């Protein structure tokens, strides 16, 4: 499994192939703007190693951080990366498709994880996100996105072309592993599909968005 072997994904992070840097800079600005003068409880869904978010939270520490992930190995890395938050951190080995998020929280954050769920699991998860957010809370989502009207098969071919032509720092065996993972596990929505999921879950409008290729950030208000 890609996220048990972790190293290829660390190369992706090092090389910024999925625009983690730009999208997390925007996420940091949003957190600063919204919570500069107050504390907040944060849920991180599919936290992985939390490498980029941990950098943000060193400057803007939440009152509590709860990270959920399927991979026990990723959670061990998250514990190291989040060490500056000490006992504010709780890490949960859980399947988001089976056990939706539980609150309360002021910020629900998720980066590059929700596209692994099928549509019905996404519907349930968005509803649980809405129900665990406190008034004034936000859902900060970063994920892979398809173009409007683009079928999954076409998206996968396009993403494979991009990876093969641009992700040079990866060994061929890692490219093969990543492509196998994407074809098996990735079910990205379109921008309008994400907005529909949010609206149908009762979340408010999308306050801010930023897109780089097929990588996008959305910030939804709770109300």
Ligand X SMILES: C[S@@+](CC[C@H](N)C(=O)[O-])C[C@H]1O[C@@H](n2cnc3c(N)ncnc32)[C@H](O)[C@@H]1O
Which helix (H) or strand (E) is 31 found in, with range? helix 20-35
Query: Could you give the 3-state DSSP secondary structure of residue 76?
Result: helix
111 is an interface residue for ligand X by CB under 6 A: yes
As separate numbers, helices (DSSP H) first and strands (DSSP E) second, the chain gives: 9, 8
70 is an interface residue for ligand X by CB under 6 A: yes
Measured from the CB atom, the residue of 180 and 223 that comes closer to ligand X is: 180
Q: Which of 10, 76, 95, 161 binds ligand X (CB under 6 A)?
A: 95
Total number of residues binding ligand X (CB under 6 A)? Answer: 17
69 is an interface residue for ligand X by CB under 6 A: yes
Q: Determine the interface stretch with ligand X among 41-49, 153-161, 170-178, 212-220 (rule: CB under 6 A).
A: 41-49
DSSP one-letter string for 193-211: HHHHHHHHTT---EEEEEE
**Considering the complex, what minimum distance in angstroms separates the CB of residue 97 from ligand X?**
4
Per-residue exposure over 193-208, b if at least 16 CB sit within 10 Å of its own CB, e if not: ebbebbeebebeebee
47 is an interface residue for ligand X by CB under 6 A: yes
**Considering the complex, what minimum distance in angstroms separates the CB of residue 149 from ligand X?**
25
Give which of 142, 151, 108, 185 is closest to 18, Cα–Cα.
142
3 is an interface residue for ligand X by CB under 6 A: yes
67 is an interface residue for ligand X by CB under 6 A: no
82 is an interface residue for ligand X by CB under 6 A: no
Q: Which of 77, 101, 107, 113 binds ligand X (CB under 6 A)?
A: 113
What is the Cα–Cα distance from 184 to 190, expressed in whole angstroms? 18
112 is an interface residue for ligand X by CB under 6 A: yes
What is the Cα–Cα distance from 100 to 166, expressed in whole angstroms? 35
Measured from the CB atom, the residue of 7 and 204 that comes closer to ligand X is: 7
Closest residue to ligand X using C-beta atoms: 48
What is the Cα–Cα distance from 50 to 43, expressed in whole angstroms? 12
Q: Can you name the residues that pair with 28 across neighbouring β-strands?
A: none
**Considering the complex, what minimum distance in angstroms separates the CB of residue 105 from ligand X?**
16
Please say whether the beta carbons of 163 and 178 come within 8 A.
yes
116 is an interface residue for ligand X by CB under 6 A: yes
Other Cβ atoms within 10 Å of 171 Cβ, number: 11
140 is an interface residue for ligand X by CB under 6 A: no
Binding region for ligand X (CB under 6 A)? 3, 46-48, 68-71, 74, 95-97, 111-113, 116-117
């Amino acid at each position: 499994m890609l996220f048990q072997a972790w190293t290829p994904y660390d190369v992706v992070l090092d090389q910024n192939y999925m625009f983690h840097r730009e999208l997390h800079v925007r996420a940091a600005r949003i957190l600063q703007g919204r919570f500069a003068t107050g504390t907040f409880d944060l849920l991180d869904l599919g936290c992985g190693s939390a490498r980029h978010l941990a950098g943000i939270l060193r400057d803007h520490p939440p009152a509590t951080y709860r990270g959920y992930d399927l991979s026990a190995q990723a959670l061990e890395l998250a514990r190291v990366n989040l060490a500056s938050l000490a006992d504010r951190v709780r890490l949960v080995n859980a399947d988001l498709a089976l056990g939706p998020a539980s609150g309360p929280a002021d910020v629900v954050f998720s980066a590059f994880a929700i596209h692994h769920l099928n549509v019905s699991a996404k519907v349930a998860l968005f509803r649980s996100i809405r129900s665990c957010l406190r008034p004034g809370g936000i859902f900060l989502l970063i994920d892979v996105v398809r173009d409007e009207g683009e079928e999954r098969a076409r998206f996968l071919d396009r993403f494979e072309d991009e990876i093969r032509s641009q992700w040079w720092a990866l060994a061929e065996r890692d490219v093969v592993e990543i492509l196998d993972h994407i074809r098996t596990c990735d079910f990205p929505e379109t921008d309008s599909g994400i907005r529909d999921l949010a609206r149908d879950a009762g979340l408010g409008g999308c306050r801010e968005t930023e897109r780089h290729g097929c990588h996008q950030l959305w910030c939804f208000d709770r109300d």
